[in-house]
């Protein structure tokens, strides 16, 4: 955690001196499946590594880029506002594949940062 804090601080301080600052973001860990699909993941496939909640269309994120892409979904960004520099850190989740019959009814996934 100390190394993460140092790295983010370093990125933010360098960005301030270069003129285009990075915006630190703590992204949500749940996103709508439409954003997961738009980023190239298949949240409903049989062999998907994306873990989706059965009760609605929410999925656990596999990378921080998915919710960041959702921030700008369906928006036209003027060239004058580019580049947009974001820095994010989050927990990420991947569904465990090939768990077998012994794990029926269990939610098996990997969580990492």
pLDDT at 96 over 70: no
What pLDDT does residue 4 have?
A: 75
* Dist. CA 57–CA 18, nearest whole Å: 41
Give the 3-state DSSP-derived string for the chain, with helices as H, strands as E and coil as C: CHHHHHHHHHHHHHHHHHCCCCEEECCCCEEEHHHHHHCCCCCCCCCCCCCECCCCCEEECCCCHHHHHHHCCCCCCCHHHCCCCEEECCCEEEECCCCCHHHCCCCCEEEEC
Asked if the model's pLDDT at residue 7 lies above 80, the reply is no
> Residue 83's pLDDT band (boundaries 50, 70, 90)?
confident
* Segment 95-113 mean pLDDT: 57
Kindly report whether the global pTM for this prediction surpasses the value 0.75. no
Q: Which residues neighbour 41 within 8 Å (Cβ) at sequence distance 6 or greater?
A: 48, 49, 50, 62, 66
More confident site: 47 or 5: 5
| Per-residue pLDDT at 101 | 54
């Amino acid at each position: 955690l100390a190394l993460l804090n140092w790295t983010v601080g370093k990125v933010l301080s360098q960005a301030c001196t270069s003129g285009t600052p990075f915006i630190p973001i703590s992204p949500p860990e749940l996103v709508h499946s439409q954003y997961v699909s738009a980023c190239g993941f298949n949240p409903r496939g049989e062999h998907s590594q994306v873990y989706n909640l059965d009760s609605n269309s929410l999925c656990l994120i596999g990378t921080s880029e998915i919710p960041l892409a959702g921030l700008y979904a369906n928006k036209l960004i003027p060239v004058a506002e580019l580049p947009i520099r974001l820095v994010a850190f989050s927990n990420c989740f991947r569904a465990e594949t090939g768990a077998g019959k012994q794990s029926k009814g269990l939610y098996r996934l990997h969580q990492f940062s």
